[in-house]
Amino acid sequence: MGDKDVDAQFADIVAHWDDVESLPDKPHHSGVNPPLEPDTHVNPPPTRPFVVWRGAEVEPPPVTPEPEQDTPPAELVDLDDEEHFEPGPTAPLPPQEDLHFWGIVVGLVVGPLLVLWLVLFRPQVSGWWTLAAVVLTVGGFVLLVLRQPHDRDEHDPDNGARV
């Protein structure tokens, strides 16, 4: 199609832009249920709810000047004088000889990092690397579960939780 044809078609479209097309005649229904008359409504048409664009204008209450106070409020003074929470000493890390702890750390840190590295940078690598990453992650989780104590004191108020 040449440029002149496109221009001619465009000019024709623009010239007839505001023309109204006639609607087709209604189809003839010869079925069991004839169509309802336009004035007969089975259900009323839905109505739009009234939308409030802005609330009623209310005058603000008159502002009364507050008396000047030289002393700070009592709440501020009391908050500064209260005792502050001092946490107890933290538990030290397990020694280097505790292979169970370090197995948990390696399994739960290196395993997911290796999976992430394989997915992002080496998608076409051998399946052994993927298997090793999954085994490290699952092994670290299993070691973490095994590290829990077998029995707990029933009268322990914190249920063995440490922060």
In a domain, 124, yes or no: yes
> pTM for this one?
0.40
8 Å CB contact between 140 and 107: yes
Q: Give CA–CA dist 17/12, Å, rounded.
A: 8
Q: Give CA–CA dist 107/110, Å, rounded.
A: 6
In a domain, 139, yes or no: yes
8 Å CB contact between 107 and 136: yes
In a domain, 19, yes or no: no
In a domain, 73, yes or no: no
Q: How many domains are contained in the chain?
A: 1
In a domain, 118, yes or no: yes
Helix (H, G, I), strand (E, B) or coil at 149: coil
163 residues of the chain, pLDDT tens digit each: 677 788 999 999 888 887 767 666 666 666 666 666 666 656 666 676 666 666 667 777 777 777 666 665 555 555 555 677 787 888 787 888 888 899 999 999 999 999 999 888 877 888 898 899 999 999 999 999 988 877 766 776 666 555 5
Where in the sequence is the domain holding 116, given as residue range(s)? 99-146
Contacts of residue 143, Cβ cutoff 8 Å, sequence gap at least 6: 100, 103, 104, 107
In a domain, 109, yes or no: yes
In a domain, 68, yes or no: no
In a domain, 107, yes or no: yes
